[in-house]
Amino acid sequence: MISFLTSGFFASMLSFLAIYVALTVILHLQANVAGVVNFGIAGFWGIGMYATSIFLLRFNINFWISIVLGAIVTGLIALPLARILLNLDGQAVLVGTLAFASIVENQIFVNREITGGSRGLGTIPMPIDVGPYRFIVYGLVVVAFVVALILYAWKLKKAPFGRLLFSIRDNELLSRSLGKPTFRHKIIFFAITCGLIGLFGGLTAPLHSFLLPMMVSPTVTFTAWIALMLGGQSKISGAVIGVLATEFVFFYLLRVILPLPAEAAQMVPFFIYAAYGLMLVLVLMFKPTGIMGGKRRGN
Amino acid sequence: MSACNTCKDTEKTGVLHIKKAVKRFGGKTVVNVEDIRIGTHCIEGLIGPNGAGKSTLINLMTQKLSLTEGEIIYYRGDEAINVSSKNLNTLAKLNLVRSNQIIQDFASLTIVDSMILANTDLRHEKFYKLFNDKEVREAAQEKIDFYLDYFHFDFPEGHALSAGEKKLLDIIRCLILNPKFLLLDEPTAGLPQDQSDKVIDLLQKKTAEEDMCVLIVEHNLDLIWRVCDYIHFMADGQILIQGTPDEIKGNETVNKKYIGEESNA
């Protein structure tokens, strides 16, 4: 048991799940608290991941400083994007952010002097070098970041700023007529939370150790969205449960951890995808607000 | 008619000076107001048939819509503010406040939260301020207690459910902003009679005691005759006649264009 917990596999699983929880919690803040439908998570995550690695490898900057710089770069790129997109309606924001993520993927591919293009960028070492335990130690550091994020999100929703964000999501014009500069708040909050996505992108870099443009695919975005829908959009716990119910169950538990007979190995992935889809359909049919979701309000 | 002391300083200038204000949607001129002053009396009324442009005019005054031509000046103390240079939210912070004709609410905020939101100062609403909710609640407590006590809500910690509750909450939110000039778009539509009387009583009390003027848009003419000190009659996008309730009541044009029309209908 101990050897499993300190294994590279467990550390990698823990770290990736934690990163996905973080992305889903941030998505919850953007989509469900502030009402900004962000379908460009992969883009911001990718900018963070690549920017961090570039600062680290090309400029020899300390990893932790690189991560902070990567997050700042992501936030600064999100700022003008927010200025363009956020006074449009929800569908336009959806399409705009999705397109933005594609642009990011494409730019990483094209600018090969900086990003390495399709040859890749690496190698990114584990930043905390404590011998064989470095993977699990780093995993725990990632978890600590995620816990801090969850505490922030939880506290924010109870703070006056959270109340303001809810009011903007519910009825922006009414919020403005109460004197709230809603557009400015939306832009700033979007940039900050995208910066956080970039931060977790930076934290992902050592886990991949070698970066390829294809990693910055919309899969990351969809994983977070599906987890959020399934877990329950209106709660932070929904984001956590959602990631466990999708990523953990289907891509770790069923595929790797459970002792399935070897002869079934070829079949398993197909069954997993079928079961994954079936669960999505069932949850949306019988509990449209998600596993942790409460009653539906409004609209 | 209420005796009004605090509005005396606005008697000549008014609170809003509308100069050659024109609003066109495409080729259609919806509002075309030559030169009028609003807010020369404590409680004024704006009446007129459907489609006269009353709500559009209110939207122009608060920058929910922007003018095609002309200007609207808002006198706030010694300041003269061109409303075109501001927007909806900055005008609200300058105490030029409006209620909504169509029922508006925040679906996820409780009645009390909604009041706290209206009362919260902008400097408390920052993404890095996580521990100031207690302070913000305490600052709003006195007003919340007053309004909950005055207008009885069944479940103040719950959501506003009925149309009447939402309408009332809308007006309360406006009053919490300490308006200097309050525009009420059909404030009593959808309210039960007793609540509507309470709203009017409170408005009369506040205008008499505080530095506040009110403009009411209403189709309930009994209320207009009873409450307003001065009335603007609007038809076809223009302010046709202004005067005291008695002058308006007896006016031929008003009868022909509005009151007569209603009694025939």
Q: What is the ipTM of this complex?
A: 0.89
Q: For CA atoms A145, A150, A151, A155, give the dihedral sign.
A: positive
**C-beta atoms of A181 and B118 within 8 A:** no
pLDDT at residue number A298: 43
Task: Look up residue B115 and give its two tokens.
Answer: 């009041």
| A206-218: pLDDT as tens digits | 999 899 999 999 9
Confirm if B10 and B74 have CB atoms less than 8 A apart: no
> CB within 8 A of B9, min separation 6: which ones?
none
Q: Residue B81 pLDDT > 60, yes or no?
A: yes
User: Does some domain include residue B42?
Assistant: yes
Domain ranges of chain A: 2-217
Q: How far is the CA of B111 from the CAs of B92, B151, B182, B184, B235, in angstroms?
A: 20, 12, 21, 20, 37
Q: Which residue has the higher pLDDT, A171 or B251?
A: A171
Does B158 lie at the interface with A, CB-CB under 8 angstroms?
no
User: Does some domain include residue B57?
Assistant: yes
pLDDT at residue number B5: 54
* Residue A62 three-state SS: coil
CA–chain centroid gap for A19, Å, is 6
Confidence grade of residue A109 (pLDDT, cut at 50, 70, 90): very high
User: How many pairs of residues across A and B have Cβ atoms under 8 Å apart?
Assistant: 99
Size of chain A in residues: 299
What phi and psi values does residue B36 have, to the nearest 5 degrees?
-135, 160
Confidence grade of residue A256 (pLDDT, cut at 50, 70, 90): confident
Tell me which chain B residues have a C-beta less than 8 angstroms from the C-beta of A159. Answer: 129-133
Min Cα–Cα distance to chain B from A55, Å: 27
- Residue written as token pair 């919340």: B144
Q: Residue B263 pLDDT > 70, yes or no?
A: no
**C-beta atoms of B100 and A177 within 8 A:** yes
Confirm if B154 and B182 have CB atoms less than 8 A apart: no
Q: How many CB atoms lie within 10 A of CB A144?
A: 11
User: Does some domain include residue B28?
Assistant: yes
- Residue written as token pair 């003018």: B67
Between residues 224 and 243 of chain B, which touch chain A (CB distance below 8 Å)?
Answer: none
Cα distance between residue A74 and residue A96, in whole Å: 16
Q: For CA atoms B146, B152, B156, B161, give the dihedral sign.
A: negative
Does B133 lie at the interface with A, CB-CB under 8 angstroms?
yes
- Residue written as token pair 């406040």: B97
Cα distance between residue A26 and residue B127, in whole Å: 14
pLDDT at residue number B10: 65
User: Does some domain include residue B149?
Assistant: no
pLDDT at residue number A268: 77
pTM, full prediction? 0.90
CA–chain centroid gap for B106, Å, is 19
In A, minimum Cα distance to B97 occurs at A177
- HSE, CB side, 13 Å, CA atoms: give it for residue A234: 14
Cα distance between residue A249 and residue A233, in whole Å: 19
Q: At what angle do helices A41-58 and A219-231 cross, to 10 degrees?
A: 130
Does B121 lie at the interface with A, CB-CB under 8 angstroms?
no
Q: Residue A204 pLDDT > 70, yes or no?
A: yes
Confirm if B179 and B97 have CB atoms less than 8 A apart: yes
Q: How far is the CA of A108 from the CAs of A201, A202, A203, A285, B29, in angstroms?
A: 14, 15, 18, 39, 52
**C-beta atoms of B104 and A171 within 8 A:** yes
Size of chain B in residues: 265
Q: How many CB atoms lie within 10 A of CB B155?
A: 12
Q: What is the DSSP string of A180-240?
A: --HHHHHHHHHHHHHHHHHHHHHHHHHHHSEE-GGGSSTHHHHHHHHHHHHH-TT-HHHHH
pLDDT at residue number B2: 44
User: Does some domain include residue B118?
Assistant: no
Q: How far is the CA of B256 from the CAs of B44, B226, B259, B261, in angstroms?
A: 22, 21, 7, 7
Q: Residue A47 pLDDT > 90, yes or no?
A: yes
Q: Output A183-188 pairs: Cβ under 8 A, ≥24 positions apart.
A: A183/A86, A183/A87, A185/B125, A186/A34, A186/A36, A186/A82, A186/A86, A187/A79, A187/A82, A187/A83, A187/A86, A188/B127
Q: Which helix (H) or strand (E) holds B238?
A: strand B238-243
CATH at B224: 3.40.50.300
In A, minimum Cα distance to B127 occurs at A161
Task: Look up residue B65 and give its two tokens.
Answer: 């819509």
pLDDT at residue number A182: 93
pLDDT-above-90 percentage for chain B: 43
Mean pLDDT value across chain A? 90
- Say which of B89, B109, B127 has its CB closest to residue A161: B127
User: Does some domain include residue B219?
Assistant: yes
Cα distance between residue A296 and residue B191, in whole Å: 26
Tell me which chain B residues have a C-beta less than 8 angstroms from the C-beta of A172. Answer: none
What phi and psi values does residue A188 have, to the nearest 5 degrees?
-65, -45
pLDDT at residue number A145: 97
| Paired strand residues for B71 | B19
- Number of domain units in chain B: 1
User: Does some domain include residue B139?
Assistant: no
| Paired strand residues for B79 | B76
| B88-139: pLDDT as tens digits | 999 999 999 999 888 889 988 999 999 999 999 999 999 999 999 999 999 9
Confirm if A40 and A97 have CB atoms less than 8 A apart: yes
Average pLDDT for B79-83? 88
- Say which of A158, A164, A174 has its CB closest to residue B125: A164
Containing domain of residue B218, as a range?
14-101+180-192+211-264
- HSE, CB side, 13 Å, CA atoms: give it for residue B263: 7
Mean pLDDT value across chain B? 87
Min Cα–Cα distance to chain B from A73, Å: 19
Q: Residue A297 pLDDT > 80, yes or no?
A: no
- Say which of B98, B117, B124 has its CB closest to residue A167: B117
Min Cα–Cα distance to chain B from A43, Å: 23
User: Does some domain include residue B142?
Assistant: no
β-pairing, B16-25 vs B69-76, is antiparallel
Q: How far is the CA of A220 from the CAs of A25, A44, A96, A249, A293, in angstroms?
A: 14, 11, 17, 17, 23
Q: Residue B1 pLDDT > 50, yes or no?
A: no
